Amino acid sequence: MTRIDQIRPEFVEFIPEDLSSGVLYVSKRYSTASHLCCCGCGLEVVTPLNPAKWRLVESGHSASLSPSVGNWSFPCRSHYWITGNQVRWAAAMSAKKIAAVKARDRRDVEVMVPPPRGLIARFIDAVAAKIAGRFRG
């Protein structure tokens, strides 16, 4: 495994099936960025771009992701920042610290990302409204 210290953005509509090392694939249409883990283990890292997950900042031909990328569910447990196409490596984190970060991430999703309002949710709302109307009067 060879760690990489640089990554370049490639803007695509769809994330390709086969990713190349050292490339950060960004799909603005689907608000997602993906890359192969920078440690060289070959696992795919998916970073959803939304207020509760990651933010992408573009500057010319460079890109930055924030916050850091913590691959704690991977065997490599790598942790790094992508800033201006540079990969900045972070020190290992304890299991307790990782658990705290994961808990904070879950809270962020609950607060910042609205639940999906698909067809089923609208149907349930309509049925509930109809039932409530029957008992009013």
Strands 23-27 and 8-11: parallel
Does the residue 130 lie in any domain?
yes
111-132 per-position pLDDT tens digit: 666 666 667 767 776 766 666 5
Residue 137 confidence (pLDDT) above 50: no
Does the residue 3 lie in any domain?
no
Sheet (strand 23-27) strand order: 8-11, 23-27, 32-36, 44-48
Does the residue 73 lie in any domain?
yes
**Residue 86 to residue 88: CA distance in whole angstroms:** 6
- What is the tally of structural domains in the chain? 1
Does the residue 63 lie in any domain?
yes
Determine the structural domain holding residue 61 and report its residue range.
Answer: 8-134
Helix (H) or strand (E) holding 113: none
The answer to whether 6 and 86 have CB atoms below 8 angstroms apart is yes
pTM (global) more than 0.95: no
Does the residue 124 lie in any domain?
yes
Does the residue 35 lie in any domain?
yes
Mean per-residue pLDDT, 41-46:
96
45-104 per-position pLDDT tens digit: 999 998 878 999 999 899 999 999 998 889 999 999 999 999 999 887 788 887 887 787
